Structure 1
Amino acid sequence: MFDKVVEIVSAFGYLGVFALMLLENIFPPIPSELIMPLAGFVAARGELNFAGVMAAGTAGSVVGALPWYYAGAKLGKERMKRLAKRWGYWLTMSPEDIDKASGWFDRHGKGAVFFGRLIPAVRTLISVPAGIVGMPMLLFLAYSTLGSLIWTALLALSGFVLESQYEKVSQYLDPISTGVVVSMVVYYLYRLARQRFAGRR
Protein backbone atom coordinates (compact mmCIF):
# COMPACT_ATOMS: atom_id res chain seq x y z
CA MET A 1 0.00 0.00 0.00
CA PHE A 2 2.86 2.38 0.83
CA ASP A 3 4.45 2.02 -2.60
CA LYS A 4 1.09 2.11 -4.39
CA VAL A 5 0.09 5.42 -2.84
CA VAL A 6 3.53 6.87 -3.65
CA GLU A 7 3.08 5.71 -7.26
CA ILE A 8 -0.33 7.37 -7.47
CA VAL A 9 1.01 10.67 -6.14
CA SER A 10 4.00 10.45 -8.50
CA ALA A 11 1.78 9.72 -11.49
CA PHE A 12 -0.86 12.41 -10.93
CA GLY A 13 1.30 14.99 -9.18
CA TYR A 14 -0.33 18.01 -7.59
CA LEU A 15 -3.73 17.14 -9.06
CA GLY A 16 -3.57 13.76 -7.35
CA VAL A 17 -2.69 15.33 -4.00
CA PHE A 18 -5.52 17.86 -4.44
CA ALA A 19 -8.09 15.21 -5.39
CA LEU A 20 -7.14 12.82 -2.56
CA MET A 21 -7.34 15.57 0.05
CA LEU A 22 -10.65 16.81 -1.37
CA LEU A 23 -12.14 13.32 -1.18
CA GLU A 24 -10.68 12.80 2.29
CA ASN A 25 -12.71 15.78 3.52
CA ILE A 26 -15.97 14.65 1.91
CA PHE A 27 -15.65 10.91 2.28
CA PRO A 28 -12.39 9.57 3.68
CA PRO A 29 -11.16 6.78 1.36
CA ILE A 30 -7.56 7.33 2.53
CA PRO A 31 -6.78 9.51 5.57
CA SER A 32 -4.70 12.68 5.20
CA GLU A 33 -2.33 11.21 7.78
CA LEU A 34 -1.25 8.85 5.01
CA ILE A 35 -1.69 11.05 1.92
CA MET A 36 0.39 14.06 2.91
CA PRO A 37 3.45 12.28 4.37
CA LEU A 38 3.70 10.21 1.19
CA ALA A 39 3.33 13.37 -0.89
CA GLY A 40 6.21 14.75 1.17
CA PHE A 41 8.24 11.65 0.28
CA VAL A 42 7.63 12.28 -3.41
CA ALA A 43 8.61 15.95 -3.05
CA ALA A 44 11.82 15.03 -1.26
CA ARG A 45 12.74 12.75 -4.16
CA GLY A 46 12.56 15.78 -6.44
CA GLU A 47 9.46 14.71 -8.38
CA LEU A 48 7.30 17.48 -6.91
CA ASN A 49 7.94 20.86 -5.32
CA PHE A 50 7.38 20.85 -1.55
CA ALA A 51 5.56 24.20 -1.61
CA GLY A 52 3.39 22.91 -4.42
CA VAL A 53 2.54 19.80 -2.41
CA MET A 54 1.49 21.93 0.56
CA ALA A 55 -0.57 24.23 -1.67
CA ALA A 56 -2.32 21.32 -3.43
CA GLY A 57 -3.05 19.53 -0.16
CA THR A 58 -4.36 22.69 1.48
CA ALA A 59 -6.51 23.62 -1.53
CA GLY A 60 -8.02 20.13 -1.68
CA SER A 61 -8.77 20.22 2.03
CA VAL A 62 -10.45 23.64 1.86
CA VAL A 63 -12.47 22.86 -1.28
CA GLY A 64 -13.57 19.60 0.34
CA ALA A 65 -14.91 21.56 3.30
CA LEU A 66 -17.18 23.75 1.17
CA PRO A 67 -19.94 21.19 0.49
CA TRP A 68 -20.38 20.71 4.24
CA TYR A 69 -20.46 24.48 4.80
CA TYR A 70 -23.14 24.97 2.14
CA ALA A 71 -25.12 22.00 3.43
CA GLY A 72 -25.23 23.59 6.87
CA ALA A 73 -26.12 27.00 5.44
CA LYS A 74 -28.91 25.74 3.19
CA LEU A 75 -30.42 23.04 5.38
CA GLY A 76 -29.90 24.20 8.95
CA LYS A 77 -29.14 22.05 11.96
CA GLU A 78 -32.42 20.18 12.35
CA ARG A 79 -32.73 19.24 8.67
CA MET A 80 -29.09 18.17 8.64
CA LYS A 81 -29.76 15.94 11.62
CA ARG A 82 -32.82 14.43 9.94
CA LEU A 83 -30.82 13.74 6.78
CA ALA A 84 -28.00 12.29 8.86
CA LYS A 85 -30.45 10.01 10.61
CA ARG A 86 -31.88 8.77 7.32
CA TRP A 87 -28.88 8.78 4.97
CA GLY A 88 -25.83 9.68 7.04
CA TYR A 89 -24.71 6.11 7.49
CA TRP A 90 -23.31 6.17 3.94
CA LEU A 91 -20.85 8.79 5.16
CA THR A 92 -20.74 7.35 8.70
CA MET A 93 -22.29 10.58 9.92
CA SER A 94 -24.89 10.56 12.66
CA PRO A 95 -27.08 13.27 14.22
CA GLU A 96 -24.87 12.99 17.30
CA ASP A 97 -21.82 13.88 15.18
CA ILE A 98 -23.54 17.08 14.09
CA ASP A 99 -24.40 17.88 17.71
CA LYS A 100 -20.77 17.34 18.73
CA ALA A 101 -19.47 19.59 15.96
CA SER A 102 -22.05 22.24 16.86
CA GLY A 103 -21.09 22.01 20.52
CA TRP A 104 -17.43 22.44 19.62
CA PHE A 105 -18.34 25.50 17.54
CA ASP A 106 -20.46 26.96 20.35
CA ARG A 107 -17.62 26.56 22.87
CA HIS A 108 -14.83 27.94 20.71
CA GLY A 109 -16.63 30.39 18.44
CA LYS A 110 -15.44 31.13 14.94
CA GLY A 111 -11.91 30.08 15.93
CA ALA A 112 -13.30 26.53 16.10
CA VAL A 113 -12.97 26.38 12.31
CA PHE A 114 -9.22 27.01 12.60
CA PHE A 115 -8.61 24.62 15.50
CA GLY A 116 -11.07 22.06 14.13
CA ARG A 117 -9.01 21.70 10.95
CA LEU A 118 -6.15 20.41 13.12
CA ILE A 119 -8.21 17.68 14.80
CA PRO A 120 -8.97 14.53 12.78
CA ALA A 121 -12.26 13.73 14.51
CA VAL A 122 -13.61 17.27 14.01
CA ARG A 123 -11.92 18.43 10.80
CA THR A 124 -14.69 17.55 8.35
CA LEU A 125 -17.90 18.29 10.25
CA ILE A 126 -16.77 21.60 11.81
CA SER A 127 -17.81 23.18 8.51
CA VAL A 128 -21.46 22.30 9.16
CA PRO A 129 -22.09 24.57 12.18
CA ALA A 130 -20.07 27.31 10.46
CA GLY A 131 -22.58 27.20 7.63
CA ILE A 132 -25.55 26.92 9.99
CA VAL A 133 -24.69 30.15 11.85
CA GLY A 134 -23.85 31.96 8.60
CA MET A 135 -20.16 32.50 9.28
CA PRO A 136 -18.91 34.95 6.58
CA MET A 137 -17.43 33.03 3.67
CA LEU A 138 -14.20 35.03 3.57
CA LEU A 139 -13.63 34.44 7.27
CA PHE A 140 -14.49 30.75 6.91
CA LEU A 141 -12.04 30.38 4.02
CA ALA A 142 -9.33 32.26 5.92
CA TYR A 143 -9.61 30.10 9.06
CA SER A 144 -10.00 26.89 7.05
CA THR A 145 -7.01 27.70 4.85
CA LEU A 146 -4.75 28.58 7.76
CA GLY A 147 -5.69 25.51 9.79
CA SER A 148 -5.46 23.20 6.77
CA LEU A 149 -2.10 24.68 5.76
CA ILE A 150 -0.60 23.97 9.17
CA TRP A 151 -2.01 20.43 9.20
CA THR A 152 -0.90 19.52 5.68
CA ALA A 153 2.50 21.18 6.13
CA LEU A 154 3.27 19.19 9.28
CA LEU A 155 2.24 15.92 7.64
CA ALA A 156 4.11 16.62 4.41
CA LEU A 157 7.20 17.75 6.32
CA SER A 158 7.31 14.45 8.21
CA GLY A 159 7.50 12.57 4.90
CA PHE A 160 9.97 15.06 3.43
CA VAL A 161 12.37 14.76 6.38
CA LEU A 162 12.25 10.95 6.36
CA GLU A 163 12.98 10.64 2.63
CA SER A 164 16.64 9.79 3.23
CA GLN A 165 15.42 6.74 5.16
CA TYR A 166 12.89 5.84 2.48
CA GLU A 167 13.87 2.21 2.02
CA LYS A 168 14.11 1.58 5.74
CA VAL A 169 10.94 3.46 6.61
CA SER A 170 8.93 1.86 3.80
CA GLN A 171 9.56 -1.57 5.28
CA TYR A 172 7.79 -0.48 8.43
CA LEU A 173 5.19 1.85 6.95
CA ASP A 174 3.98 -0.47 4.21
CA PRO A 175 2.21 -2.88 6.60
CA ILE A 176 1.15 0.06 8.78
CA SER A 177 -0.31 2.02 5.87
CA THR A 178 -2.08 -1.10 4.63
CA GLY A 179 -3.43 -1.64 8.12
CA VAL A 180 -4.64 1.97 8.30
CA VAL A 181 -6.61 1.65 5.07
CA VAL A 182 -8.04 -1.74 6.05
CA SER A 183 -8.96 -0.37 9.47
CA MET A 184 -10.71 2.60 7.85
CA VAL A 185 -12.74 0.26 5.65
CA VAL A 186 -13.64 -2.00 8.58
CA TYR A 187 -14.57 1.00 10.74
CA TYR A 188 -16.69 2.42 7.93
CA LEU A 189 -18.54 -0.88 7.51
CA TYR A 190 -19.01 -1.14 11.27
CA ARG A 191 -20.50 2.36 11.53
CA LEU A 192 -22.59 1.75 8.42
CA ALA A 193 -24.06 -1.42 9.91
CA ARG A 194 -24.58 0.15 13.33
CA GLN A 195 -26.33 3.24 12.01
CA ARG A 196 -28.55 1.26 9.63
CA PHE A 197 -29.51 -1.03 12.50
CA ALA A 198 -30.20 1.95 14.75
CA GLY A 199 -32.29 3.55 11.98
CA ARG A 200 -34.44 0.45 11.64
CA ARG A 201 -34.96 0.34 15.40
Structure 2
Amino acid sequence: MEQWITHFMEQHGYLGIGLLIFLENIFPPIPSEIILTFGGFMTTKSDLSFIGVTITSTLGSVIGAIVLYGVGAWIGERNLYRFVNRYGKFLRVKTKDIDRTINWFEKYGYWTIFFCRFVPLLRSLISIPAGLTRMNIPLFILFTTLGTLIWNMVLIYLGQAVGGNWHAIVYYMDIYSKIIYLVLIVLVIFIIWKWIKRQKTHK
Protein backbone atom coordinates (compact mmCIF):
# COMPACT_ATOMS: atom_id res chain seq x y z
CA MET A 1 0.00 0.00 0.00
CA GLU A 2 2.86 2.39 0.82
CA GLN A 3 4.25 2.24 -2.71
CA TRP A 4 0.84 2.88 -4.23
CA ILE A 5 0.23 5.84 -1.89
CA THR A 6 3.55 7.53 -2.63
CA HIS A 7 3.15 6.95 -6.37
CA PHE A 8 -0.37 8.42 -6.29
CA MET A 9 0.91 11.48 -4.43
CA GLU A 10 3.76 11.98 -6.90
CA GLN A 11 1.32 11.76 -9.80
CA HIS A 12 -1.42 14.01 -8.44
CA GLY A 13 0.31 16.39 -6.02
CA TYR A 14 -1.96 18.47 -3.81
CA LEU A 15 -5.11 16.82 -5.15
CA GLY A 16 -3.69 13.37 -4.41
CA ILE A 17 -2.74 14.37 -0.86
CA GLY A 18 -6.15 15.85 -0.10
CA LEU A 19 -7.98 12.87 -1.58
CA LEU A 20 -5.88 10.29 0.27
CA ILE A 21 -6.31 12.07 3.60
CA PHE A 22 -10.06 12.27 2.94
CA LEU A 23 -10.13 8.51 2.31
CA GLU A 24 -8.00 7.92 5.43
CA ASN A 25 -10.77 9.49 7.50
CA ILE A 26 -13.42 7.28 5.91
CA PHE A 27 -11.24 4.17 5.80
CA PRO A 28 -8.86 4.34 8.83
CA PRO A 29 -6.51 1.50 7.71
CA ILE A 30 -5.04 3.95 5.18
CA PRO A 31 -2.07 5.35 7.17
CA SER A 32 -2.05 9.14 7.40
CA GLU A 33 1.51 8.93 8.75
CA ILE A 34 2.79 7.83 5.35
CA ILE A 35 0.77 10.46 3.49
CA LEU A 36 1.83 13.35 5.71
CA THR A 37 5.51 12.50 6.18
CA PHE A 38 5.97 11.72 2.49
CA GLY A 39 4.09 14.92 1.72
CA GLY A 40 6.63 16.77 3.85
CA PHE A 41 9.47 15.04 2.00
CA MET A 42 7.91 16.04 -1.34
CA THR A 43 8.24 19.71 -0.39
CA THR A 44 12.03 19.26 -0.56
CA LYS A 45 12.10 17.82 -4.08
CA SER A 46 9.10 19.23 -5.92
CA ASP A 47 7.05 22.39 -6.37
CA LEU A 48 4.86 21.48 -3.40
CA SER A 49 5.11 23.82 -0.40
CA PHE A 50 4.74 23.21 3.33
CA ILE A 51 1.73 25.52 3.49
CA GLY A 52 0.13 23.93 0.44
CA VAL A 53 0.50 20.39 1.77
CA THR A 54 -0.78 21.50 5.18
CA ILE A 55 -3.87 23.20 3.75
CA THR A 56 -4.84 20.40 1.35
CA SER A 57 -4.29 17.63 3.90
CA THR A 58 -6.22 19.50 6.59
CA LEU A 59 -9.05 20.27 4.18
CA GLY A 60 -9.27 16.62 3.12
CA SER A 61 -9.31 15.50 6.74
CA VAL A 62 -12.00 17.96 7.81
CA ILE A 63 -14.23 17.07 4.85
CA GLY A 64 -13.86 13.39 5.75
CA ALA A 65 -14.78 14.17 9.36
CA ILE A 66 -17.89 16.06 8.20
CA VAL A 67 -18.96 13.02 6.15
CA LEU A 68 -18.69 10.79 9.24
CA TYR A 69 -20.52 13.44 11.28
CA GLY A 70 -23.28 13.14 8.68
CA VAL A 71 -23.34 9.37 9.15
CA GLY A 72 -23.83 9.83 12.89
CA ALA A 73 -26.55 12.45 12.34
CA TRP A 74 -28.29 10.13 9.86
CA ILE A 75 -28.34 7.30 12.42
CA GLY A 76 -29.67 9.70 15.05
CA GLU A 77 -30.35 9.28 18.75
CA ARG A 78 -33.90 8.09 18.11
CA ASN A 79 -32.74 5.11 16.06
CA LEU A 80 -30.06 4.35 18.62
CA TYR A 81 -32.61 4.27 21.44
CA ARG A 82 -34.95 2.21 19.29
CA PHE A 83 -32.16 -0.31 18.69
CA VAL A 84 -31.32 -0.50 22.40
CA ASN A 85 -34.98 -0.91 23.38
CA ARG A 86 -35.30 -3.78 20.94
CA TYR A 87 -31.97 -5.56 21.27
CA GLY A 88 -30.45 -4.09 24.42
CA LYS A 89 -31.51 -7.03 26.57
CA PHE A 90 -29.38 -9.34 24.43
CA LEU A 91 -26.40 -6.99 24.60
CA ARG A 92 -27.09 -6.12 28.24
CA VAL A 93 -27.21 -2.45 27.36
CA LYS A 94 -29.90 -0.16 28.75
CA THR A 95 -31.14 3.22 27.61
CA LYS A 96 -29.69 4.79 30.75
CA ASP A 97 -26.26 3.65 29.56
CA ILE A 98 -26.87 5.60 26.36
CA ASP A 99 -28.09 8.59 28.41
CA ARG A 100 -24.91 8.53 30.47
CA THR A 101 -22.69 8.34 27.40
CA ILE A 102 -24.51 11.13 25.58
CA ASN A 103 -24.48 13.40 28.65
CA TRP A 104 -20.75 12.85 29.03
CA PHE A 105 -20.13 13.57 25.36
CA GLU A 106 -22.26 16.72 25.46
CA LYS A 107 -20.22 17.94 28.43
CA TYR A 108 -16.71 17.09 27.20
CA GLY A 109 -17.35 16.49 23.50
CA TYR A 110 -15.52 19.45 22.00
CA TRP A 111 -12.23 18.72 23.74
CA THR A 112 -12.73 15.03 23.07
CA ILE A 113 -12.94 15.84 19.36
CA PHE A 114 -9.76 17.93 19.61
CA PHE A 115 -7.61 15.39 21.46
CA CYS A 116 -8.88 12.39 19.52
CA ARG A 117 -7.41 13.92 16.36
CA PHE A 118 -4.04 12.77 17.75
CA VAL A 119 -5.20 9.20 18.37
CA PRO A 120 -5.09 6.58 15.58
CA LEU A 121 -8.47 5.09 14.63
CA LEU A 122 -10.36 7.35 17.07
CA ARG A 123 -9.20 10.24 14.91
CA SER A 124 -11.83 9.18 12.38
CA LEU A 125 -14.48 7.39 14.42
CA ILE A 126 -14.99 10.19 16.96
CA SER A 127 -16.90 12.17 14.33
CA ILE A 128 -19.76 9.64 14.37
CA PRO A 129 -20.88 10.22 18.00
CA ALA A 130 -20.48 13.95 17.34
CA GLY A 131 -23.08 13.65 14.61
CA LEU A 132 -25.17 11.27 16.68
CA THR A 133 -25.53 13.89 19.42
CA ARG A 134 -25.95 16.69 16.84
CA MET A 135 -22.97 18.59 18.18
CA ASN A 136 -22.91 22.23 17.10
CA ILE A 137 -21.50 21.96 13.56
CA PRO A 138 -19.39 25.17 13.50
CA LEU A 139 -17.76 24.20 16.82
CA PHE A 140 -17.29 20.61 15.62
CA ILE A 141 -15.52 21.90 12.51
CA LEU A 142 -13.45 24.35 14.59
CA PHE A 143 -12.13 21.76 17.07
CA THR A 144 -11.67 19.18 14.32
CA THR A 145 -9.68 21.68 12.26
CA LEU A 146 -7.49 22.76 15.20
CA GLY A 147 -6.59 19.20 16.19
CA THR A 148 -6.08 18.12 12.60
CA LEU A 149 -3.96 21.16 11.78
CA ILE A 150 -1.55 20.50 14.65
CA TRP A 151 -1.25 16.78 13.82
CA ASN A 152 -0.70 17.45 10.13
CA MET A 153 1.81 20.25 10.61
CA VAL A 154 3.96 18.17 12.97
CA LEU A 155 4.16 15.18 10.64
CA ILE A 156 4.64 17.28 7.50
CA TYR A 157 7.42 19.23 9.22
CA LEU A 158 9.13 16.03 10.36
CA GLY A 159 8.93 14.61 6.85
CA GLN A 160 10.41 17.81 5.50
CA ALA A 161 13.15 17.93 8.14
CA VAL A 162 14.43 14.38 7.66
CA GLY A 163 14.01 14.41 3.88
CA GLY A 164 14.87 11.06 2.32
CA ASN A 165 14.80 9.42 5.75
CA TRP A 166 11.05 9.99 6.09
CA HIS A 167 10.60 6.23 6.51
CA ALA A 168 12.17 6.58 9.96
CA ILE A 169 9.30 8.84 11.05
CA VAL A 170 6.77 6.34 9.72
CA TYR A 171 8.54 3.58 11.67
CA TYR A 172 8.33 5.45 14.97
CA MET A 173 4.76 6.55 14.28
CA ASP A 174 3.88 2.89 13.70
CA ILE A 175 5.26 2.10 17.16
CA TYR A 176 3.22 5.00 18.58
CA SER A 177 0.08 3.64 16.88
CA LYS A 178 0.64 0.14 18.27
CA ILE A 179 1.08 1.52 21.79
CA ILE A 180 -2.14 3.52 21.42
CA TYR A 181 -4.01 0.46 20.14
CA LEU A 182 -2.77 -1.56 23.11
CA VAL A 183 -3.88 1.14 25.54
CA LEU A 184 -7.29 1.30 23.86
CA ILE A 185 -7.71 -2.47 24.06
CA VAL A 186 -6.83 -2.47 27.77
CA LEU A 187 -9.20 0.45 28.33
CA VAL A 188 -12.06 -1.30 26.53
CA ILE A 189 -11.47 -4.49 28.52
CA PHE A 190 -11.47 -2.47 31.76
CA ILE A 191 -14.70 -0.66 30.82
CA ILE A 192 -16.41 -3.94 29.91
CA TRP A 193 -15.24 -5.49 33.19
CA LYS A 194 -16.57 -2.53 35.20
CA TRP A 195 -19.84 -2.63 33.30
CA ILE A 196 -20.33 -6.37 33.90
CA LYS A 197 -19.47 -5.90 37.56
CA ARG A 198 -22.04 -3.10 37.86
CA GLN A 199 -24.69 -5.24 36.16
CA LYS A 200 -24.09 -8.07 38.63
CA THR A 201 -24.25 -5.63 41.56
CA HIS A 202 -27.65 -4.32 40.41
CA LYS A 203 -28.97 -7.88 40.30
| Residue 104 (structure 1) shift | 7.7
2:24 corresponds to 1:24: yes
AA partner of residue 31 (structure 2)? P
Task: Return the alpha-carbon distance in structure 2 between the equivalents of residues 136 and 15 of structure 1.
Answer: 29
Show the counterpart of 1:42.
42
With 104-113 and 54-63 compared, the bigger mean Cα shift is at: 104-113
Identity in percent: 38
| Residue 169 (structure 1) shift | 5.6
For these two proteins, the number of residue pairs brought into alignment is 157
User: Any unmatched runs of 5+ in structure 2?
Assistant: 84-97, 175-203
Show the counterpart of 2:147.
147
| Residue 157 (structure 1) shift | 1.0
Show the counterpart of 1:62.
62
Show the counterpart of 1:75.
75
1:133–1:2 CA distance, 2 compared to 1 (3 A):
closer
Task: Return the alpha-carbon distance in structure 1 between the equivalents of residues 169 and 153 of structure 2.
Answer: 20
Task: Return the alpha-carbon distance in structure 2 between the equivalents of residues 111 and 46 of structure 1.
Answer: 37
Query: What are the superposed Cα offsets for residues 157-194 of structure 1, whole Å, 9 maximum, x if unpaired?
Result: 1110011xx1x565x689x69xx7xxxxxxxxxxxxxx
> How much is the aligned-residue C-alpha RMSD, in angstroms?
3.0
Larger radius of gyration: 2
User: Any unmatched runs of 5+ in structure 1?
Assistant: 83-98, 181-201
Task: Return the alpha-carbon distance in structure 1 between the equivalents of residues 134 and 128 of structure 2.
Answer: 10
Task: Return the alpha-carbon distance in structure 2 between the equivalents of residues 64 and 169 of structure 1.
Answer: 25
Task: Return the alpha-carbon distance in structure 1 between the equivalents of residues 57 and 47 of structure 2.
Answer: 16
Show the counterpart of 1:113.
113
The answer to whether the 8 Å contact 1:41/1:162 transfers is yes
AA partner of residue 26 (structure 2)? I
The answer to whether the 8 Å contact 1:23/1:64 transfers is yes
The answer to whether the 8 Å contact 1:6/1:42 transfers is no
Task: Return the alpha-carbon distance in structure 2 between the equivalents of residues 102 and 118 of structure 1.
Answer: 22
1:118 alignment partner, SS class: coil
The answer to whether the 8 Å contact 1:104/1:112 transfers is no
The answer to whether the 8 Å contact 1:39/1:53 transfers is yes
1:11 alignment partner, SS class: helix
TM-score by length of 2: 0.66
